[in-house]
């Protein structure tokens, strides 16, 4: 039997009805961008000084994602502060790239090829684009991190292109297939040897951004892709990946993180209070900096100056949909719900609360969308990728 988070039923029903009827538009919605043409609108802000762990205050409640924010004009600065904290204490630096000078792109039939050169070293990314059989180019694009777990028929019925981001081209770590390499020995590390302590999620987010660089450089005449309508999705560890990719690149219009578990949308502070779930101490540390576990294990988690509701909030004002499955306790979906509710307040502050939603439904295997979730997923895709 399907199990649905009852506290979300009325909210989700309202969101789905509005999405299907096209009644989302409001005056404030028109004033807040749906997507940006640059990777990071906060690139011009100075990186704030990061306190040592010993100097960080103990914060038992979730930190205030809107600290210092008066109106929307303050958000880019605040978002850049959150991004800096997540990189410094959690995943490592996502280095900036000058796409005009360091990135070259070309198409080989339907395959996008992107070469990124840093310090005399070149990393090459290749991804095949699957174009729809009907419709008129340029097409919106859904990128799957390591694959697309959403039902194929969801894409076959609409003029939407799809592409898989093969993250192993950047960092070949896998939970299931050992590459023979370890931290500091991946493709990314050839370009950035000083960032060998990075976790995979900063490296993988960097790689997806380089694919978007390539699409922008070539333009729609060559790629047949509309770069103002790019989505990213993934499930499980790739759901985390999709969330980090969408959070750290403002050119992504829609992020759908499917069953991302701990280290994704779930708040570390909340999962710390739970048993048998993926918590800060019980996650895969190839994904994060080892120093995060050293610095914030046990009750030291309350010194972490951010939490993952703020990772989710980094997607704002763009669209975010979180999908959960409470049948798998390890995913810590109750911690994701707390995080989602806290993050949603950021979208609400700017009058675009309908751009973010979450749906937690049981009764189906891991990474296989429940049929009851089809309408909300389809409505988000249609609104944020298919609309003008």
The yes-or-no answer on residue 60 being catalytic is no
Nearest in space to 287 (alpha carbons), one of 84, 88, 90:
90
Between CA 175 and CA 330 the distance in angstroms is 16
Token reading at 239: 């759901």
Q: Give the H or E element holding residue 321.
A: strand 319-324
Positive or negative, the CA dihedral 50, 52, 53, 54 is negative
Strand partners, 163: 129, 143
Query: What number of H helices and E strands is found in the chain?
Result: 14, 9
Between CA 297 and CA 282 the distance in angstroms is 10
Catalytic residue among 174, 366, 370, 372: 366
Catalytic residue among 80, 202, 209, 236: 236
Token reading at 295: 């610095």
Q: 109 Cβ partners below 8 Å, 6+ apart?
A: none
Between CA 355 and CA 346 the distance in angstroms is 11
Positive or negative, the CA dihedral 14, 253, 236, 305 is negative
Between CA 303 and CA 296 the distance in angstroms is 7
The yes-or-no answer on residue 364 being catalytic is no
Between CA 256 and CA 122 the distance in angstroms is 31
Provide long-range contacts, Cβ within 8 A and 24+ apart, for 128-136. 128/163, 128/164, 129/161, 129/162, 129/163, 129/223, 129/224, 129/225, 130/161, 130/162, 130/163, 131/161, 131/224, 132/158, 132/159, 132/160, 132/161, 134/159, 135/159
Between CA 63 and CA 54 the distance in angstroms is 18
CA distances from 51 to 8, 11, 65, 77, 198 (A): 38, 39, 18, 19, 19
Residue 60 buriedness (CB in 10 A; 0-12 / 13-18 / 19+): exposed
Among all residues, which ones are annotated catalytic?
236, 366
């Amino acid at each position: 039997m399907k199990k649905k988070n009852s506290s979300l039923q009325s909210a989700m029903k309202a969101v789905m009805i509005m999405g299907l009827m096209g009644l989302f538009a409001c005056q404030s919605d028109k004033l807040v961008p749906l997507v940006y043409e640059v990777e990071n609108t906060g690139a011009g802000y100075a990186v704030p000084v990061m306190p040592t762990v010993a100097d960080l205050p103990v914060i038992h409640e979730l930190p205030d994602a809107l600290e210092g924010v008066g109106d929307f004009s303050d958000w880019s600065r605040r978002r850049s502060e959150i991004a800096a904290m997540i990189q410094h204490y959690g995943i490592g630096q996502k280095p900036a790239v000058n796409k005009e000078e360091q990135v070259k792109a070309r198409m080989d039939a339907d395959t996008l090829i992107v070469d990124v050169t840093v310090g005399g070293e070149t990393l090459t990314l290749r991804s095949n684009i699957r174009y729809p059989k009907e419709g008129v180019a340029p097409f919106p694009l859904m990128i799957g991190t390591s694959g697309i777990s959403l039902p194929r028929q969801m894409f076959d019925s609409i003029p939407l292109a799809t592409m898989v981001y093969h993250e192993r081209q950047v960092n070949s770590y896998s939970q299931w297939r050992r590459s023979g390499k370890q931290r500091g020995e991946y493709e990314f590390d050839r370009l950035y040897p000083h960032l060998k302590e990075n976790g995979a999620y900063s490296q993988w987010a960097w790689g997806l951004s380089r694919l978007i660089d390539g699409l922008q450089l070539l333009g729609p005449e060559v790629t047949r892709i509309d770069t103002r309508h790019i989505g990213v999705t993934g499930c499980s560890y790739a759901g985390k990946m999709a969330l980090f990719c969408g959070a750290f690149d403002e050119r992504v219009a829609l992020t759908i993180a499917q069953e991302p578990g701990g280290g994704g949308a779930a708040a570390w502070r909340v999962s710390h209070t739970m048993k048998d779930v993926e918590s800060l101490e019980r996650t895969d540390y190839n994904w994060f900096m080892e120093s995060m576990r050293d610095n914030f294990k046990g009750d030291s988690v309350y010194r972490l100056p951010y939490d993952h509701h703020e990772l989710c909030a980094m997607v704002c004002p763009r669209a975010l949909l979180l999908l959960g499955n409470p049948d798998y306790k390890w995913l810590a979906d109750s911690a994701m719900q707390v995080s989602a509710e806290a993050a949603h307040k950021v979208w609400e502050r700017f009058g675009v609360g309908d751009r973010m939603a979450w749906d937690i439904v049981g009764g189906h295997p891991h990474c296989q969308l429940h049929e009851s979730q089809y309408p909300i997923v389809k409505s988000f895709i249609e609104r944020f990728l298919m609309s003008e």
